[in-house]
Chain A
Amino acid sequence: MKKMNGKNKGKLLVHIILIIGSIWMIFPFFWMILTSFKTFSETTRIPPVIFPKSFSFTNYATVFLTLPFKQFYINTIITSFTVTIGQIIVSTMAAYVFARLKFPGNKILFFIVLSVMMVPTQIFIIPQYMTMKYLHLLDSLPALIIPGWFSAFSVFLLRQFFMTLPIELEEAARIEGCGTFKIFYSIMLPLAKPGIIAASIFSILWSWNDLMWPLIVNNSMEKMTLAAGLASLQGQHLTNYPVIMAGAFLAVLPMLIIFLIFQKQFVEGIALSGTKA
């Protein structure tokens, strides 16, 4: 009897903490959506107007009328998915090597890989632009995709995951005569599923929201991604915030759905790693 009450009290406390936290988390998102229904005048009011007088969808209509939004979706989906697939392939291989394989230069090379994260990202703009120019890839989708295949963050994340996997499995496989790549592909990769999912979420997220690089390397509106295309709604002196918020919400909706799908995989992961051990 006592144990039951204790457990329920604990659960209630957990809920309370999580709910308070949630309100704090969703506030700006909620604000973004509300603003998307406001008129321009309402967004310049002091003190700010929280709820629009009327919930009209005109701003959403404007987004579709003034921008090739459908094309943006297509571009962003192609870019994000291609970046992620390529990045996972490149990163998992490299991460496994750094995590498990013994070879000269392991530590140094890994550190060099990490060092890529230790400089301001603006220093990459001009050299990458010149490289794209040299490859005749200016104003194209591959220009957006290819640099994204190489991510130090992703490699580091997956390396940590590989390092937590029990080494006995590999040793057993090696005794049976499996080659390194086979071990990687058939045994290690499936076990690292939670890590791969996390890395994928980050990759899609980063690629989905990337604004600066698409604007610099691409010229035509048809090659823009959602984030970059939305930025073009910012005028020099006059910015129609409600329309941008409407666009931002539309842009983010797929990300939310992707996340909801993916995060279910997290739960399945428990069953997987449990049985293996």
Chain B
Amino acid sequence: MKTQPVAKIIKRKIKKYHSQEVVCAYLMLFPLLFGLSVFYIYPIFRTIFFSFTKWGAFGSYKITGIGNYVKLLHDHDMLLALKNTFIYTGLSVPLGLSAALIIAALLNSKIKGLSIYRALYFLPAITMPSAVAMVWNWIYNGDYGILNYCLSFFGIKGLGWVSDPSVAMYSLILVSVWGGIGISMIIFLAGLQGIPATYYEAASIDGAGAIKKFFKVTLPLLTPTIFFSLITSLIGSLQLFDLVFMMIRPGNLAMVNTQSIVYLFYRNAFVLNDKGYGAAISVVLLVITMIVTAIQFTFQKKWVNYD
């Protein structure tokens, strides 16, 4: 009842732009927009253009209309790539975020040795990617990997975790969660710093224990940061490439279940030398990601508290 007139007032307020503010906004925005346009947005438009061509070697091209997109609709590989990428995203995002959130909460508590722990959890982010791939390939090795070695103590015969098509994707998801914890942890730690101590003090006075504080104070106030991590993880997961490229070599029978959209793009653009088709794949990925992100942004009003 009260909301109706208030909404009208707010609408009127929003329509009023202060000229000083607008000018300032554009001025402060200019460096970013200029740089992004030159280095990133122009290439995207260029890619969109080339998706409508047969893009040959060294820049030569022939306009072919929607030919590439028609081909995409019938491409079985693309369907598989979509399925693989969605499975990967659907599992690694929630798992990764939850794990990082828990770790960050633990690392924000008053225990000894915080700096050391934080540094340790940060290490995967700075370990050389080829070392990461080598170690995980060793862990996952079917014949002498550590994982199967441990399983043998329980009498379980382990699989080839990255060579068996039925499990390879899940093995990659585990590596991804492992590698993402350090990054997400930094973001969450920063977010946790933004929660004023007074809130915790008030909660203590009300008699709340550690876990209650987490759910009633920490989580709600952390939602802007969680939202950020959610969006960037979603976008990043849809872009899955490096992990597949490093751990699943061409010729691996498991490729059929791990080939992601970007890997398909890379294969078409750089190995099969069909850059126009690759461009079309990029455009499809862009559209999918935009839709997913837009949905998240519209829903954020329901759960994100910006204070």
The reply to whether A150 and B39 contact each other, CB–CB distance below 8 Å, is yes
Stretch at the interface among B72-80, B87-95, B126-134: B126-134
Question: Is the CB of A255 closer than 8 A to any CB of chain B?
Answer: yes
Known: A27-B135, A109-B33, A150-B40. A180 touches B20 (CB 8 A): yes
The reply to whether B228 and A156 contact each other, CB–CB distance below 8 Å, is yes
- A160 CB to nearest chain B CB (Å): 4
Most buried by A among B22, B193, B306: B193
Distance of A209 Cα from B132 Cα, bound (Å): 14
Residue of chain B at shortest CB distance from A191: B194
- B272 CB to nearest chain A CB (Å): 14
Question: Is the CB of A190 closer than 8 A to any CB of chain B?
Answer: no
- Give the interface SS of chain A, mostly helix, strand, loop or mixed: helix
A202-246: CB near B (< 8 Å → 1, else 0) gives 100100010000000000000000000010000000000100110
The reply to whether B193 and A252 contact each other, CB–CB distance below 8 Å, is no
Question: Which residue of A97, A103, A123, A167 is within 8 Å of B279 (Cβ)?
Answer: A123
The reply to whether A149 and B35 contact each other, CB–CB distance below 8 Å, is yes
Chain B residues whose CB sits within 8 angstroms of the CB of A101 once the complex forms:
21-22, 24-25
The reply to whether B135 and A31 contact each other, CB–CB distance below 8 Å, is yes
A90-121: CB near B (< 8 Å → 1, else 0) gives 11011011100111101001011111111111
Distance of A138 Cα from B41 Cα, bound (Å): 21
Question: Which residue of A118, A180, A264 is within 8 Å of B24 (Cβ)?
Answer: A180
- A265 CB to nearest chain B CB (Å): 9
The reply to whether A122 and B266 contact each other, CB–CB distance below 8 Å, is yes
Distance of A124 Cα from B262 Cα, bound (Å): 14
Residue of chain B at shortest CB distance from A241: B134
The reply to whether B306 and A274 contact each other, CB–CB distance below 8 Å, is no
Residues 273 to 307 of chain B near chain A (Cβ within 8 Å): 279, 282, 285-286, 289-290, 293-294, 306-307
Distance of A10 Cα from B225 Cα, bound (Å): 26
The reply to whether A128 and B32 contact each other, CB–CB distance below 8 Å, is no
Question: Is the CB of A63 closer than 8 A to any CB of chain B?
Answer: no
The reply to whether B144 and A120 contact each other, CB–CB distance below 8 Å, is no
Question: Is the CB of A5 closer than 8 A to any CB of chain B?
Answer: no
Chain A residues whose CB sits within 8 angstroms of the CB of B14 once the complex forms:
102
Distance of A126 Cα from B232 Cα, bound (Å): 25
The reply to whether A14 and B111 contact each other, CB–CB distance below 8 Å, is yes
Question: Is the CB of B187 closer than 8 A to any CB of chain A?
Answer: yes
Chain A residues whose CB sits within 8 angstroms of the CB of B120 once the complex forms:
22, 25-26
Chain A residues whose CB sits within 8 angstroms of the CB of B256 once the complex forms:
none
Tier of interface size on chain A: 35 or more
- B117 CB to nearest chain A CB (Å): 5
- A30 CB to nearest chain B CB (Å): 9
Tier of interface size on chain B: 35 or more
Question: Which residue of A21, A94, A157, A163 is within 8 Å of B121 (Cβ)?
Answer: A21
- Give the interface SS of chain B, mostly helix, strand, loop or mixed: helix
The reply to whether B224 and A160 contact each other, CB–CB distance below 8 Å, is yes
Distance of A255 Cα from B270 Cα, bound (Å): 33
Question: Is the CB of B115 closer than 8 A to any CB of chain A?
Answer: yes
Question: Which residue of A18, A180, A241 is within 8 Å of B107 (Cβ)?
Answer: A18
The reply to whether B36 and A32 contact each other, CB–CB distance below 8 Å, is no
Distance of A156 Cα from B307 Cα, bound (Å): 18
Distance of A98 Cα from B121 Cα, bound (Å): 32
Residues 213 to 271 of chain B near chain A (Cβ within 8 Å): 221, 224-225, 227-228, 231-232, 235-236, 238-239, 241, 262, 265-266, 269-270
The reply to whether B21 and A256 contact each other, CB–CB distance below 8 Å, is no
Stretch at the interface among B153-161, B163-171, B177-185: B177-185
Question: Which residue of B115, B135, B224 is within 8 Å of A263 (Cβ)?
Answer: B115
Known: A115-B286, A256-B119, A256-B126. A127 touches B29 (CB 8 A): no
The reply to whether A274 and B286 contact each other, CB–CB distance below 8 Å, is no
9 A-B pairs with the lowest CB-CB distances in the bound complex, closest first: A150-B35, A269-B193, A118-B289, A198-B190, A127-B43, A248-B128, A94-B32, A277-B196, A28-B135
A sample of 23 inter-chain contacts (CB < 8 A) reads A18-B103, A26-B123, A48-B138, A97-B24, A114-B293, A117-B236, A120-B285, A121-B239, A123-B279, A147-B39, A150-B40, A152-B40, A160-B224, A160-B227, A163-B224, A164-B225, A194-B189, A194-B191, A230-B128, A263-B189, A269-B194, A270-B197, A274-B198
